[in-house]
Structure 1
Amino acid sequence: MQRRAEILKLIKENGFKRVSELKDIFQVSEVTIRSDLRMLQEEGKIERNYGGAMMKEELETPSFSETSMLLSEPKAAIAQAAVELIQPGDSLFLDGSSTTLLLAKLARNIENITIISNSIPIFEQLKEITTATLIGIPGSLNPRTQTFVGPYAEKMINDLRATKTFISPKGVLLEGLRDITMVEADIRKRMMDSGNEVIVLADHSKFNNNRTLIPIDSFDAVHTIITDQRPDEAFMSIFAEKNIRVIVADTHDD
């Protein structure tokens, strides 16, 4: 059908299109558009999500084990720089990333901290610790990232507060932080809103990663960015304007 081909073309060009937008473009009912999207999803071409649809390949999130193997040295250096910002008595939001898992391993020896996370691997790492308080965020399991997401997880984060939030988004663009899926972006946004100090952990591959379509937030709430290579001047200018501290982790042994 011609209309479905045109819808698919629009989604491919824009990354994501809402049902309401498609209804206005094609001058048909929402019921008709939803039917078209259902057919395209059944053909394996798109994924319907949050009142619209996006290309299926954009939703292919790397598994946790896959991301854990990538850029291990820079991530370890970033985690080492991050743990130096944690003080005894701090409460921490940690998102479900391989970099925050490394951070959790390093933070286990800091006394009297509280770790709040939706990550199964983080709690597997810390489950026997006796010097920290662990708070697990419940929700629907995302099997690829091994994290709990969804409305229940978001509500719990909204109800909590922490002295520091550590997140590792999938992309850092000039307009702000980005992710691959809406559910993970929503969790990270809630953690940013509920933390007194927001610290972004982003290796050099995250900068200008244009495959990350979903916005998390602008840089307005960010206090510190820890990376392994100095960002280019376009980013540094924005960070200076917003008074964001940039820490470049040392990736070389002495």
Structure 2
Amino acid sequence: MTVDRPRAPRRGTERRREEILRHVRDGSGDIAGLAARFGVSVSTVRRDLQHLAGDGHVHRTYGGAVAGGHVAERTLDEKESGHRAQKEAIARAAAERVADGDVVLIDAGTTTGRFARALRSRSRLTVITNSTLVLRHLADAPGIELIVLGGRVRRPNGAILGPEGEETLRRLTPDLAVLGADGLDARNGLSCPSLGQAHAKELMAERGREVLVLADATKLGAGPFPYHARPAGPWTLVTDASADPAIVREFTTGPIDVLTVPAQP
């Protein structure tokens, strides 16, 4: 019996997806046309588009796809270089909410990464995370038991996403869930670069007994991406004191507390 081999090696698949993305951005996102152009089956193109949609690069439509996102997603290094004092102040204020013995769930992001770093010297903590950045900060912290949620590493933000991690989350009730956001709107919630990430954030918020969202002032009122996570229960926004008071007031009309902190000198 013969066994069908994959049509192309992994690198070939990556190159094809890069080319498909280029054509979608140019307005040529029809599935049949892409299949003919690349000499692959319609089902293969559907899988490629689903992969690109999962990473937030495209939106699926009937019969094809269109370019996704409102802005280009930045890398962790690019995000880390901006608003450092504000992020540090937010992270340290959030860390003060953690008591020894707590179980803390930490989302991916640069401000949440700083929050994790602020916990390095703490003892008797259990930290659960889907973030490669948090893993980097806490992997060798002696007083912290670290649990990493399973799945596929999403680039460029280092979030680990997938059904394995979601299944683990459904078995946990952390004392505190700490979420990051690329943008935050009082009505729509947390702006996310992919549908999978929006779903993961909502599940994290659902499982946490207390929920903190860490977002510096530049993210308030912003929605750079088309997907959103809406925490179902009460939560606390931790932001910096430079936030526009009018925008901050929008977050105080519902089950949301707001904590503003001065930037570190």
TM-score range with shorter-chain normalisation?
Answer: 0.7 to 0.9
Q: Which residue of 1 aligns with 2:224?
A: 211
CA distance in 1, matches of 2:217, 2:35: 38
Tell me how far 1:89 sits from its aligned partner: 1.0
Q: Any idea what SS the aligned residue of 2:209 has?
A: strand
Q: Deviations over 1:72-130 (max 9, x none)?
A: 11101100111111111111111110111111111122221110001112112111112
TM-score, normalising length: structure 1: 0.76
Moved more, 182-191 or 76-85: 182-191
CA distance in 1, matches of 2:148, 2:112: 15
**C-alpha spacing 1:196/1:71, structure 2 compared with 1 (3 Å):** same
Unmatched runs of 5 consecutive residues or more in structure 2: 1-23, 38-44
RMSD of aligned alpha carbons = 3.0
Q: Which residue of 2 aligns with 1:139?
A: 151
Amino acid at match of 1:35: A
Tell me how far 1:142 sits from its aligned partner: 1.0
Q: Which residue of 2 aligns with 1:179?
A: 192
TM-score, normalising length: structure 2: 0.73
Say whether the 8 Å CA contact 2:192–2:226 is kept in structure 1: yes
Say whether the 8 Å CA contact 1:59–1:180 is kept in structure 2: no
Tell me how far 1:61 sits from its aligned partner: 2.1
Among 162, 166, 188, the residue aligned to 1:154: 166
Say whether the 8 Å CA contact 1:167–1:188 is kept in structure 2: yes
Among 75, 79, 84, the residue aligned to 1:63: 75
Amino acid at match of 1:212: F
Say whether the 8 Å CA contact 1:200–1:222 is kept in structure 2: no
Say whether the 8 Å CA contact 1:37–1:48 is kept in structure 2: no
Q: Deviations over 1:224-253 (max 9, x none)?
A: 1110134433542442x3242211111153
CA distance in 1, matches of 2:89, 2:133: 19
Q: Which residue of 2 aligns with 1:15?
A: none
Tell me how far 1:57 sits from its aligned partner: 5.2
**C-alpha spacing 1:237/1:119, structure 2 compared with 1 (3 Å):** closer
Q: Does 1:248 align with 2:245?
A: no
Tell me how far 1:154 sits from its aligned partner: 1.9
Q: Does 1:164 align with 2:179?
A: no
Say whether the 8 Å CA contact 2:107–2:201 is kept in structure 1: yes
Q: Any idea what SS the aligned residue of 2:97 has?
A: coil
Amino acid at match of 1:178: S
Q: How many residues align?
A: 221
Q: Which residue of 2 aligns with 1:201?
A: 214
CA distance in 2, matches of 1:105, 1:198: 19
CA distance in 2, matches of 1:70, 1:147: 19
**C-alpha spacing 1:47/1:177, structure 2 compared with 1 (3 Å):** closer
Unmatched runs of 5 consecutive residues or more in structure 1: 1-7, 12-32
**C-alpha spacing 1:132/1:214, structure 2 compared with 1 (3 Å):** same
**C-alpha spacing 1:128/1:153, structure 2 compared with 1 (3 Å):** same
Q: Deviations over 1:28-73 (max 9, x none)?
A: xxxxx7536878989x9x7255987442454742111111112111
CA distance in 2, matches of 1:128, 1:53: 43
CA distance in 1, matches of 2:32, 2:83: 42
CA distance in 2, matches of 1:159, 1:207: 32
Say whether the 8 Å CA contact 2:130–2:150 is kept in structure 1: yes
Q: Which has the higher helix share?
A: 1
Q: Which residue of 2 aligns with 1:117?
A: 129
